[in-house]
Amino acid sequence: MKKGYKQLLAEADAEVLALDVSAARDLHGREDVVFVDLRDPREREREGVIPGAFSCPRGMLEFWVDPESPYAKPVFAEPKRFLFFCAGGWRSALAAKTVQDMGLENVCHLAGGFTAWRKDGAPVEALAPKASGPAQG
The tens-digit pLDDT sequence of the chain (137 residues) is: 899 999 999 999 999 999 999 999 999 999 999 999 999 999 999 999 999 999 999 999 999 999 999 999 999 999 999 999 999 999 999 999 999 999 999 999 999 999 999 999 999 999 876 665 555 55
Residue 38 Cα distances to 32, 49, 87, angstroms: 19, 11, 8
Q: Are 23 and 43 in contact (CB under 8 A)?
A: no
- Per-residue model confidence (pLDDT) at position 31: 97
- Please tell me the distance from the alpha carbon of residue 69 to that of residue 27, in angstroms, as a whole number: 29
> Per CATH, which fold does 16-119 belong to?
Oxidized Rhodanese; domain 1 (3.40.250)
- Per-residue model confidence (pLDDT) at position 74: 97
- Please tell me the distance from the alpha carbon of residue 16 to that of residue 96, in angstroms, as a whole number: 7
Q: Rounded to two decimals, what is the model's pTM?
A: 0.91
